[in-house]
A and B are shown apart, each in its own frame.
Chain A
Amino acid sequence: MLLFIKKAGFILLVFISISTIISFGSLWSLRQSSFYKPSFLVNNVLEKEFDYIILGASTGLTTLNTRVIDSVLHTNGLNLSMDDTALSSQHLMLEHFLAQGKIVKFCVVAPSINDYDVKSNVLSGNDYRFLPYINTSYVSNHYNRYSSQSAKLLYGSKWLPILGVSYYNTEIFYPSLLALINPKKRNRFDEKGNYGYPNKNAKSRSITEFKELPISFQNIYLEKISDLCKLNNIKLICYFSPINAKKVVTETDDYTILNHSDLLKNTSFFYDDIHVNYKGRQISSEAFANDFKLMIK
């Protein structure tokens, strides 16, 4: 028995040691890079002060182009949206932004519309991108809030990084190798954090009817974002991105709202039902700039 325990123990010990070193290296490599938004913000965004930041999911990422907005308003904006994330992730991103000592006047949240009403939050698909910062309290607390297996593994990475790195090996380990070779490489976004969907296959058809989509802001994380904004003297704007043939309606006065859900009246501006394409992004960003101009004043 002793021989077996010694042998199995030795194999496990050597494996854990080597894998832990590799995993630490992997997270270190990502921390030095610009591959994902959290480390891009730390390493590639040198400015300290911004007029506005956009925190959103794929809708915020692909609808609002800060280059267009800044060219109209002569402002300094940054898009920190990430696809497949929720308001909870956007709260985490705001915490991460503030933790870097950066200052912003306006915070525009642009999640998926339905996310405004989510009551029970779960770990978002791309929250693993914060894993390189697991040793900060706001990231580890974020993972610790959820009961899913992936959240537990991410939280456990605080002590044993192989848990998160191996579970998300294609998303963390291999990109970290890429980051090691080219630390400046970004994962599908430009130097202002923008990304867009192409125009191809966009059929042109007028949208005449818009079905109403009621929203009542039940997600607790919007309140948390609002509180964090107040604490840091940031004005919060809730943005509703264009949706194909739907109009978001809400009765709340608690938040400043920019409702562009029914802005686009032709299907050729859409990539799919909830995402715009390049053409749609241009129009949406210009419309945003025009409305935002009034708010700045």
Chain B
Amino acid sequence: MLFNSIDFAIFLPLFFVLYWFVTKRSLSMQNLLIVGASYLFYAWWDYRFLALILLSTVIDFLVANQLKKEERKRQRKWLLFISLFFNLGMLAFFKYFNFFIESWTDAWQVFGVNMNVSTLKIILPVGISFYTFQTLSYTIDVYKKKIEPTSNIIQFAAFVSFFPQLVAGPIERASHLLPQFNTKRIFNSKFAISGFYLIIWGLFKKVVVADNCAFFVNQIFDGSAGYSSIELCLGALLFGFQIYGDFSGYSDIAIGVARLFGFSLMTNFSFPYFSRDIAEFWRRWHISLSTWFRDYVYIPLGGSKGTKWQSIHNVFIVFLVSGFWHGANWTFIVWGGLHAALFLPLMLLKSNRNHLKSTKVYLHQVPSLLITLVLVTIAWIFFRADNLAHAYQYIVDMCNFSHSGARVFYKSSKMLLFSSIIGFSILILLLFEFIAVQKNKKEVELSTFTAIFIVILICFMGVFKNPSEFIYFQF
């Protein structure tokens, strides 16, 4: 079920009424309702893959409870291994199996050996990367004795499958979300209103900014050879706004929906295009994933402790794995590697924690803000391209400075209309975010009247006829 669909517009108020008016008195009933609704929400795409969520839930629940009883180190390690093996194995099979096979045969082809290995037609279950990481964090934390496992399987099933963030995050930590399923929920109007505003803002980012940008981005990237340098540059820039609007829009809606039911989810995006360097960008972009990698990969590897080379090695590993998490394609790995290469100088110069205290942007910082945007945009080309050769050619064509203008944006009245909508919507997006950044806020805050204004913009500027799926569903 898509957040920007009529199905969801019917599902949400129905669930709201059942949750707050029918099952209000019983916490177990509310949790059971969450599980049922979440499974229905997921089954809307493909009911067959519910079995994977169910299996993941049961295995991690049993493993965690066994870990609680078990004190012997060796046995504990085995239990952790079972959880890691199942979750990562499932991810490896559904997401990476064909990639490994193809890369293996391609590698042999370099040496002149042609291997005839057939790949499998595997459908990627929506959100598999998100919920496997969420349950993994649970067993790892239980193993490290950071949290106590829950003995209530319904609560745990609700934690794994909680529909607002099931398919595209934020990837929650058990220490933050799980206890909320064990707490009596009292409706907090202010909290719910902030959620309602966040849903509106998220819808604006998705339906207006991202889906309109997709109109040009798809054309330019799908036929990049036929476009001028300026068109390619703008295509890459618009993709940056498309993916931001798409993904952060989803996160905002997810956080907003969760708030309607009394749940607090972690902030996933914090105005990343107002970052003054790459390190700050990664503190603001997909925060739930970058902190996951920090806590479960970077720190266990040794983090910044140890020699300079060890730190470089650890940073590279984290960025490469983060890139690979996004998809089974070398483009994502190069994208991760590029970010690592951009991050390293800051780390070596010890300036990667320069802007920790304040998000406020000053006039003299505008150049560094623009430089960061340009660097991030170049890296996005790898993220969006079909393969490495395509990305390389895109950059070469972009840099040959052909002078045929930017006709794609105004060659017909339809193009001009889309260009105007995109320009205006990005301006609104940046204006609202700039205000929030200057006030050191964590999220855009709407008033009653700005909320009405944004809803009207969604209505008359949004893409409803041919909406794009959320990009991050494929991850």
List A residues at the B interface (Cβ < 8 Å).
1-4, 7-8, 10-11, 14-15, 18-19, 22, 149-150, 162, 165-170, 173-174
Q: Shortest Cβ distance from B238 into chain A, in angstroms?
A: 17
Q: Look across to chain A and name the residue whose beta carbon is closest to the beta carbon of B446.
A: A11
Q: Contact between B196 and A19 (Cβ–Cβ < 8 Å)?
A: no
Once the chains bind, are A169 and B462 in contact (CB under 8 Å)? yes
Task: Please indicate the chain B residues that have their CB under 8 angstroms from the CB of A3 in the complex.
Answer: 189-190, 193
* Chain-A contact segment, one of B117-125, B265-273, B360-368, B447-455: B447-455
Let me know if B452 and A4 touch, CB within 8 A: no
Option from A7, A14, A19 in Cβ contact (under 8 Å) with B459: A19
Residue from the list B192, B417, B462 in contact with A4, Cβ < 8 A: B192
Question: Within 8 Å CB of A19, what residues of B?
Answer: 456, 459-460
Measured CB to CB, the residues of B under 8 A from A are: 6, 20, 187, 189-190, 192-193, 196, 414, 417-418, 448, 451-452, 455-456, 459-462, 464-465
A26 CB, nearest partner CB in chain B, Å: 9
Q: Whole-angstrom distance from the CB of B216 to the nearest CB of chain A?
A: 14
Chain A: minimal CB distance from B454 (Å) = 10
In the complex, the answer to whether A18 meets B452 with C-beta atoms within 8 Å is yes
Pairwise interchain contact A168-B187, C-beta atoms closer than 8 A: no
Instruction: Give the dominant DSSP class at A's interface.
Output: helix
- Whether A15 lies near B189 (C-beta < 8 A) is no
Task: Please give, as numbers and ranges, the residues of chain A lying within 8 Å of B459 by CB-CB distance.
Answer: 15, 19, 162, 166, 169
* Set A4, A7, A167: member contacting B187, Cβ < 8 A: A4
Q: Is the CB of A173 within 8 A of B460?
A: yes
Residues of A within 8 A of B414 (CB): 170
Q: Which of B20, B190, B455, B461 interacts with A15 by CB under 8 Å?
A: B455
Contact status B417-A170, CB under 8 Å: yes
Contact B417 A174 (CB under 8 A): yes
Tell me which residues across on chain A come within 8 A of B451, comparing CB atoms.
Answer: 11
Which chain A residues lie closer than 8 Å to B456 at the CB level?
A: 15, 18-19, 22
Q: List 26 A-B contacts (CB under 8 A).
A: A1-B20, A1-B189, A2-B189, A3-B193, A4-B187, A4-B189, A4-B196, A7-B448, A8-B193, A10-B448, A11-B452, A14-B452, A15-B452, A15-B455, A15-B456, A18-B456, A19-B459, A22-B460, A149-B6, A150-B465, A166-B459, A166-B460, A166-B462, A168-B465, A169-B461, A169-B464
The answer to whether A7 and B417 touch (CB under 8 A), given A18-B456, A166-B464, is no
Query: For B461, what are the chain A residues with a Cβ–Cβ distance below 8 Å?
Result: 169
Kindly list chain B residues whose C-beta atoms are within 8 Å of the C-beta of A170. Answer: 414, 417-418
Q: Which residues of A contact B192 (CB under 8 A)?
A: 4
Q: Is the CB of B417 within 8 A of A1?
A: no
Min CB gap B337→A, angstroms: 40
Q: Which residues of B lie under 8 Å from residue A167 when comparing CB positions?
A: 464-465
> Across the interface, do A11 and B462 meet the contact criterion of CB distance under 8 Å?
no
Residue of A nearest to B418 (CB): A170
CA of A270 to CA of B456, assembled, Å? 45
* Distance between B390 CB and nearest chain A CB, rounded to angstroms: 27
Complex contacts, A11 vs chain B, CB 8 Å: 196, 448, 451-452, 455
Q: Report the separation of the CA atoms of residues A165 and B193 in the bound assembly, to the nearest whole angstrom.
A: 28
| Least distance between A35 CB and chain B CB atoms (Å) | 12
A168 to B460, CA, bound (A): 9
Using A4-B187, A11-B451, A15-B452 as known contacts, list a sample of 9 further A-B pairs with CB atoms less than 8 Å apart, ordered by residue number in A.
A3-B190, A4-B192, A15-B456, A18-B456, A19-B456, A22-B456, A166-B462, A169-B459, A169-B461
Closest 7 CB pairs of A and B: A3-B189, A4-B189, A166-B459, A4-B192, A15-B455, A167-B464, A1-B187
Q: Which residues of A contact B417 (CB under 8 A)?
A: 170, 174
Interface centre among A14, A19, A162, A169 (most CB of B within 10 A): A169
Query: Which one of A1, A11, A173 has the greatest number of beta carbons of chain B within 10 Å?
Result: A11
Contact A7 B452 (CB under 8 A): no
User: Separation in Å of the B69 CB from the closest CB of chain A?
Assistant: 42
With the chains together, A165 CA to B459 CA distance in Å? 9
Residues of A within 8 A of B464 (CB): 166-167, 169
How far is the CB of A174 from the nearest CB of chain B, in Å? 6
Which residue of chain A has the shortest Cβ distance to B449 in the bound complex?
A14
B residues near A8, Cβ cutoff 8 Å: 193, 196
Report chain B residues within 8 Å CB of A1. Answer: 20, 187, 189
Give A198 Cβ to nearest chain B Cβ, in Å. Answer: 14
**Would A169 and B196 be within 8 Å (CB), given that A11-B452, A18-B452 are in contact?**
no
Q: How far is the CA of A149 from the CA of B448 in the complex (A)?
A: 31
In the complex, the chain A residue whose C-beta lies closest to that of B6 is A149
- A176→B130 CA distance, assembly (Å): 44
Chain A's closest residue to B188 (CB) is A4
A180 to B128, CA, bound (A): 50
* Minimal Cβ-Cβ distance residue in B for A168: B465
B193 and A4 form a contact (CB under 8 A): yes
The docked-state distance in angstroms from the alpha carbon of A81 to that of B6 is 33
Residue of A with least CB distance to B20 = A1
Q: How far is the CA of A18 from the CA of B464 in the complex (A)?
A: 19
Q: Which A residue's beta carbon lies closest to that of B448?
A: A11
Contacts of B189 in A (CB 8 A): 1-4, 7
Looking at the assembled complex, report how far the CB atom of B207 sits from the nearest CB atom of chain A, in whole angstroms.
10
Q: How far is the CA of A150 from the CA of B196 in the complex (A)?
A: 27
Across-interface contacts of B187 in A (CB, < 8 A): 1, 4
- Tell me, rounded to whole Å, the shortest Cβ–Cβ distance linking B199 to chain A: 10
